[in-house]
């Protein structure tokens, strides 16, 4: 599990636990649905990080790279 920032032990355990569930899954539709959900959550987290960073720096967040949906 390579990452640019270390995870706490409990978070690392949770990631490993769900990674194993994904590895065992044979249902392509379920995996597709999960991938879409993870993409949505990742984008929401990135937006929150951008907004929080902009708030800390007292600047306006950019709209670059954002799409509707």
Helix (H, G, I), strand (E, B) or coil at 6: coil
Residue 1 lies in a domain: no
Residue tagged 């987290």 (tokens) = 45
The Cα 9–Cα 27 span in angstroms is: 30
Question: 34 lies in which domain range?
Answer: 27-59
pLDDT tens profile 37-59: 999 999 999 999 999 999 999 88
Residue 64 lies in a domain: no
Number of domains in the chain: 1
pLDDT above 50: residue 1: no
Give the residue with greater pLDDT, 57 vs 67. Answer: 57
pLDDT above 90: residue 22: yes
Which runs of consecutive H residues, i.e. helices, occur in 1-69?
9-24, 28-57
Give residue 19's pLDDT band: very low, low, confident or very high (50, 70, 90): very high
Residue 35 lies in a domain: yes
Q: Environment class of residue 39 by beta-carbon count within 10 Å: exposed (0-12), middle (13-18) or buried (19+)?
A: exposed
Residue 52 lies in a domain: yes
Residue 31 lies in a domain: yes
Residue 21 lies in a domain: no
Retrieve residue 54's tokens.
Answer: 């902009």
Residue 41 lies in a domain: yes
């Amino acid at each position: 599990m390579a990452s640019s920032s270390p995870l706490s032990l409990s978070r690392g355990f949770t990631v490993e636990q769900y990674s194993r569930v994904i590895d065992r899954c044979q249902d392509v539709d379920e995996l597709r649905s999960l991938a879409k959900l993870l993409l949505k959550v990742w984008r929401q987290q990135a937006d929150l990080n951008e907004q929080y960073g902009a708030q800390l720096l007292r600047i306006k967040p950019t709209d670059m790279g954002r799409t509707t949906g």
